[in-house]
A and B are shown apart, each in its own frame.
Chain A
Amino acid sequence: AQRVTQPEKLLSVFKGAPVELKCNYSYSGSPELFWYVQYSRQRLQLLLRHISRESIKGFTADLNKGETSFHLKKPFAQEEDSAMYYCALNGAGNMLTFGGGTRLMVKP
C-alpha cells in the first residue's frame, strides 16, 4: 500500500520568510513524487516532480529516501504563493495517491 502524509493542514508565514511544506510517504518500492498546487479559483496543476529536479517559481523539493520525505521549500515566500499544496506519490504506475493537502497563507 502507498500512503502520503502532510502533517500540517495550515501553514501561515509572512512575506519574505522561508517556507517548508512537509510531506512524508510510505511505499515499499521506488516512488515517483510530485507537488501539485491549487490557487484560488483555479484548477489543480503540477508544480514540480521529483524526477525533473527542477526549481519552479522558486520552489524546490528533494527526495530523502532515508526519511521517506519530499518536503517543498522556498527561501522567500511571496503573497502569490498562497494556495493549497498537495504532495502526491505514484508507486505502482497507475494510481496517484495524494496527501491531505496543506493550505499556505503568506501574509503581507
Chain B
Amino acid sequence: EAQVTQNPRYLITVTGKKLTVTCSQNMNHEYMSWYRQDPGLGLRQIYYSMNVEVTDKGDVPEGYKVSRKEKRNFPLILESPSPNQTSLYFCASSLTSGRYNEQFFGPGTRLTVL
C-alpha cells in the first residue's frame, strides 16, 4: 500500500533528551516535508526537502534538524527538546515540489515534552 509512515506515533520525553521521529514513504516521491499542528494555528511547516541531500527551512525551523540521505526517509531530529515543542507532528510527501501537487500525509506523531 502506498503510504507515508511515521514512528513513533506517541512519545513522552523530558526536556533536553535528544529524540528522532522517523518518516518513510514508499511512493518514490521527491518532495518531503514536516509540519507541526497546534490548536488554532493549523499546520506550520518546519522543514522541507525537494530531493536527496536538499533541505530547507520552513516557517518554524528553530529547535529542529532534518536530513535526507535517502529518497524514502526524512527523519526529524530534536537535539534538545523543550516543552514548547509539545505538539502533533505530521510528515508529508508529494511527487515533486511542483505547486499543483497533492501532499500525502502520515498518521501523525504526538510528542509531549515534560
Contacts and interface: CB of A to CB of B under 8 A. Distances in A.
B89 interface: no
A51 B98 CA distance: 13
Interface of B: 31, 33, 35, 40-45, 48, 50, 56, 58-59, 90, 92, 97-100, 102-108
Contacts of B44: 98
Interface stretch (A14-22, A59-67, A71-79, A88-96): A88-96
Nearest to A51: B100
Nearest to B48: A94
A46 B44 CA distance: 17
B33 A9 contact: no
A86 B35 CA distance: 14
Interface of A: 4, 6, 9, 32, 34, 43-46, 49, 51, 86, 90-101
B40 to A, nearest CB: 5
A96 B33 contact: yes
B106 A43 contact: yes
Contacts of A98: 35, 42-44
Contacts of B108: 43
24 contacts: A4-B42, A32-B99, A32-B100, A34-B102, A43-B105, A43-B106, A43-B107, A43-B108, A44-B43, A44-B90, A45-B104, A45-B105, A49-B102, A86-B43, A91-B99, A93-B97, A94-B50, A94-B56, A96-B103, A97-B45, A97-B59, A98-B42, A98-B44, A100-B41
Given A95-B45, A97-B45, A98-B44, A46 B100 contact: no
A99 B42 CA distance: 6
